[in-house]
Amino acid sequence: MTVMIATFMEVLDTSVANVALPHIAGNLSATVEETTWVLTSYLVANAIILPLGGYLSSLMGRKRFYLTCVVIFTVASGLCGLAPSLGWLIFFRILQGLGGGGLQPTSQAILVENFPLEKRGAAMALYGMGVILAPIIGPVLGGWITDNYSWHWIFLINIPIGMLSIFLNSALLHDPPTLKRINLKEGAKFDYIGIGILTLGLAGLEIVLDEGQRKDWFSSNLIVFFAIVAVVMLVTTAVVEWRKKEPIVDLKLLKDRNFAAATLMMFILGFVLYGSMALLPIFLQTLLGYTASLSGWILSPGGVAVLIMMPIVAMLLKHIDTRWLIGAGFLICGTGLFMMAGFNLQVDFRTIMVSRMVQSLGLAFLFIPMNVTAFKNIPPSKTSYATGLLNLVRNIGGSTGIALVSTILSRRAQVHQANLVGNLQAGNPAFTTLLSGAQQLLISKGNSMVDAAHKAQGMVYGTLLRQSTMMAFADTFWIMAMLCFCLLPLLLFMRKTRITKGGAGPPVH
């Protein structure tokens, strides 16, 4: 519970600001597009610090590093709430992202090291409930605070929570005896070059993913520039860090087949989770005319399903091989997305909610078993490095998912629109009947014959746009479902992992 408080606060802050962007824009005399940097700057800073958690924990000590992150996040939250201009708000959000980026991986490292393997599933279940609950209530809480008070309070509410977290962590956390420290006094050198090239690479990648769709990807010189920076710097980082004795990102962990497979699965999990969460509200509000509140009622039962299932999955870990649970998770999640691919413009509330709940049940089977499998053979001294790498991959998967589903949706809508336009011809009986019916309806409502003819064509074309967009949504959901199904053969690559009472048995190499 102690480590979950700060992580809950950090995850909550990634989504709570989304709904307040129009209010922030109006209050700070900026456009809504300019205020999206309030989100982007946080994500970039967050991505930069995620893989550095293991290195900085070894350098500073885990407790000191974790408390430093909580303090930076709390102070930056207060400064965000007091920001007098958009420029200062973006600067303070960068500080907030740097503090928040170290919270999730360090929290997971603390759990892995403080709980024996047979209790680790239950600990991860409780921790995971907080992590999953935060993005569910984030938009609702952010909207309520913004409407009833001011956008400043979505940041200021972090201050009392942060102070509670600082007190509890100071009193209860201790560095584990297995933590391998880097001592600069004994000849170890601070890796300025490694941190610099990694920072440039991750910052370039996040900017490409966050701004790519808005800038029409590689038709923009800005996106091309940052894409080149990202590729060159990340490849250089991989080459340089692979040769170092004390790397800032330990890529040698990927030699373990369980960790390598779990890392790839975590990327796809982030892609599907964040991609579907971005897509479904747009579908509900733009095509079906749902309000933001009604969209929340669609999404919330899925979160409740995850909260209920996580403790059950933690118990199943003691009896069932984690590979079976992971396979069931991706199968169920893919089935839920496949159900969404069958939506049409007449789909009812219950069908949408059930589809979302099926997808969410699949997610409940993935979070804990994937983490238990990933850390099965990781040495305790490398836990922080492993958690940082896993969280980084999941966040990059989420950013990639949001960027690509937006692009796929736009491109597929154009394809379907071009195909459907071919049916709007005078010789098509269905088109003629539809146009005639629309004209008669408009004439019966008092429109002249000429006005009715023009309005009827507009109505038919509007129907075509809605149908082409609906088909694009179906295509995008189908692609995400196939991604889940395509991961199932990867389970054959993983080694058997089962939690037994009293320990895990001998390590499998």
Question: Could you tell me the two tokens for 181?
Answer: 């420290």
Bridge partners for 503 per DSSP: 500
- Measuring CA to CA, which residue among 98, 95, 93, 28 is closest to residue 65? 98
Longest C-alpha distance within the chain, in Å? Answer: 90
Report how far residue 28's alpha carbon sits from residue 31's, in angstroms, rounded to the nearest whole number. Answer: 9
Is there a common fold for 1-191 and 253-421+474-492?
yes
Identify the three-state secondary structure at position 441.
Answer: helix
Give me the architecture of the 1-191 domain, per CATH. Answer: Up-down Bundle (1.20)
b/e burial code for range 246-270 (CB count within 10 A of at least 16 → b): ebbbbeebeebebbbbbbebbbbbb
Q: Which secondary structure element, helix H or strand E, spans residue 113, and what is its range?
A: helix 103-114
Report how far residue 38's alpha carbon sits from residue 18's, in angstroms, rounded to the nearest whole number. Answer: 9
CATH of domain 253-421+474-492: 1.20.1250.20
Q: Domain residues of the chain, as ranges?
A: 1-191, 192-243, 253-421+474-492, 422-470
Task: Provide the whole-model pTM.
Answer: 0.76
Question: Could you tell me the two tokens for 96?
Answer: 């907030």
Question: Could you tell me the two tokens for 238?
Answer: 């991989």
Give the 3-state secondary structure of 317-357: CCCCCHHHHHHHHHHHHHHHHHHHCCCCCCCCHHHHHHHHH
The DSSP code for 181 is P
Bridge partners for 500 per DSSP: 503
Report how far residue 326's alpha carbon sits from residue 321's, in angstroms, rounded to the nearest whole number. Answer: 9
Which one-letter amino acid corresponds to residue 310? M
Report how far residue 213's alpha carbon sits from residue 477's, in angstroms, rounded to the nearest whole number. Answer: 18
Angle between helices 117-148 and 292-316 (to 10 degrees): 170
Could you list the pLDDT tens digit for every one of the 509 residues in the chain?
888 888 788 777 766 666 666 677 777 877 756 676 777 678 778 777 877 777 777 777 878 888 899 999 999 999 998 888 888 988 998 899 888 888 877 887 788 777 777 777 777 777 777 776 776 666 667 767 777 777 888 888 888 888 998 898 888 877 777 666 666 666 556 677 877 888 888 888 878 887 777 777 888 888 899 899 989 998 998 888 788 777 777 788 888 888 888 888 888 888 888 788 778 877 887 788 877 667 767 777 777 777 788 888 888 887 888 888 889 999 999 999 999 999 988 888 889 989 988 988 888 888 888 888 888 888 877 877 787 788 788 878 887 887 788 888 888 888 888 887 776 666 667 667 776 777 777 777 777 777 777 677 677 777 778 888 899 999 999 999 999 999 888 888 887 766 555 443 333 33
